[in-house]
A and B are shown apart, each in its own frame.
Chain A
């Protein structure tokens, strides 16, 4: 491998692993600036290095107001075992609150749902203080946004959660555990 190629791969690793902004990973313009216009070639090369470690690079397009931005983040290939999820500071309550909030946001017409409506559904499962604490935490971590009295999807949810899979799992729920559910939570 040439020296120039090594330097570019190192730059990609630094940009994607070391957090320098509020948002995780790197934006497209950063990769263009520090790696070059042909950064995609190096991203593919970088993927080959991290895939044996169970990681990959995910590309997400996020539209906000009048512009569309492209983000690149390093994520695990496989879902994490439930025991490891706890180390990310999210409890089972937080995960359930996030699942309900995201589904409600996704079913709303304008990608925003009244906080009260979400709290109403959550009240059937959790105590009021648990709901408030968990929603505050998810807002603070960037998984949800609070706009006026409504909840919208946070950037981290867009980057880290496979929304299609989440909604299809909830819609296709039949009350019986699926193969994945029973084998994926070791």
Chain B
């Protein structure tokens, strides 16, 4: 005979499995579990069992919701056989798949607009901006020379050297980006580091609260799920670092 605690834990575990899709909700006979919960003397339950009782009741509600959804789907014709669907998805060509979606797709119609209030706000903002000093293009070319690096060795060798330096100095912990690149030729180190970040050997994150950019060496190259570009700005005047 199971104790009340064990019954509660079983119900909670089962509801989690239903929630994750590991168990078919229609395989569960809710009446059996409800009988146990009704029989419990709630008023005299110790606090830990009371807590489990609430969670178990919530779990039963989740199972009931999942059951009603599955029944609704089966009756509305939305229930489809997973194996057959998978087989057809693999068989169908790219154009067939896109065509199937297009025929069942009705994009919502939207109108874009800008109101007079927004235009006024934009105008006030624009006027409040301080004018940036205008530098004629011919002067620009004299003041700012393009940064060029002729790397004789293979980039991978530089990457390896910089990676080892990062591991030696910080291990596999987060370190300030600027602090690291300023230890030598700033632009060159930033340039090589960008390759390490893109190839997944180094992780980069922007701490918006502390306004810092942090980097960390990875033991194994990480795989990007949703890759993003992070522009990093630093000052470099007249070929001399500033």
Which residues of chain A in 77-111 are interfacial with respect to chain B, using CB atoms and an 8 Å cutoff? 77, 79-80, 82, 85, 88, 92-93, 95-96, 98-100, 102-104, 106-111
What residues of chain A lie closer than 8 Å to B119, measured between beta carbons? none
- Given known pairs A18-B113, A163-B78, the reply for A136 and B226 (CB within 8 Å) is yes
Stretch at the interface among A4-12, A37-45, A170-178: A170-178
Give per-residue flags for B112-123: 1 if the beta carbon is below 8 A from chain A beta carbons, else 0: 110000000000
Bound Cα distance from A108 to B101, whole angstroms:
19
Residue B12 at the chain A interface, CB threshold 8 Å: no
CB of A180 within 8 A of CB of B103, answer: yes
CB of A109 within 8 A of CB of B21, answer: yes
What residues of chain A lie closer than 8 Å to B80, measured between beta carbons? 103, 106-107, 167, 170-171
Nearest B residue to A168, CB-CB: B77
- Given known pairs A99-B97, A185-B99, the reply for A121 and B107 (CB within 8 Å) is no
What residues of chain B lie closer than 8 Å to A107, measured between beta carbons? 80-82, 85-86
Q: How far is the CB of A102 from chain B (nearest CB, A)?
A: 8
Residue A62 at the chain B interface, CB threshold 8 Å: no
**Majority secondary structure, A binding face:** helix
- Chain B interface category by residue count: 35 or more
Residue A36 at the chain B interface, CB threshold 8 Å: no
What residues of chain B lie closer than 8 Å to A76, measured between beta carbons? 106-107, 109
The answer, among B21, B85, B227, for a CB contact under 8 Å with A103, is B85
CB of B19 within 8 A of CB of A80, answer: no
The answer, among B84, B100, B225, for a CB contact under 8 Å with A132, is B225
CB of A85 within 8 A of CB of B102, answer: yes
What residues of chain B lie closer than 8 Å to A169, measured between beta carbons? 100, 103-104
The number of residues on chain A lying at the interface, defined by a beta carbon within 8 Å of a beta carbon of chain B, is 63
Which residues of chain A in 13-69 are interfacial with respect to chain B, using CB atoms and an 8 Å cutoff? 17-19, 24-25, 55, 58
- Given known pairs A73-B108, A167-B80, A175-B91, the reply for A99 and B21 (CB within 8 Å) is no
CB of A185 within 8 A of CB of B102, answer: yes
Residue B98 at the chain A interface, CB threshold 8 Å: yes
Known: A75-B106, A170-B89, A173-B100. 14 other contacts (CB 8 A): A18-B110, A107-B85, A109-B25, A110-B20, A110-B66, A121-B89, A162-B106, A167-B85, A168-B77, A171-B85, A173-B92, A177-B96, A180-B103, A184-B103
What are 29 pairs between A and B in contact, CB < 8 Å?
A: A17-B111, A19-B112, A24-B110, A76-B107, A79-B105, A92-B94, A92-B98, A95-B101, A95-B102, A100-B97, A104-B85, A106-B85, A107-B81, A109-B66, A110-B66, A125-B97, A139-B226, A160-B106, A160-B108, A162-B104, A167-B78, A169-B100, A170-B89, A171-B85, A173-B96, A173-B100, A175-B91, A177-B96, A181-B103
Interchain residue pairs A-B with the least CB separation, the first 9: A95-B98, A75-B106, A110-B21, A109-B21, A96-B97, A99-B101, A107-B82, A165-B104, A162-B104
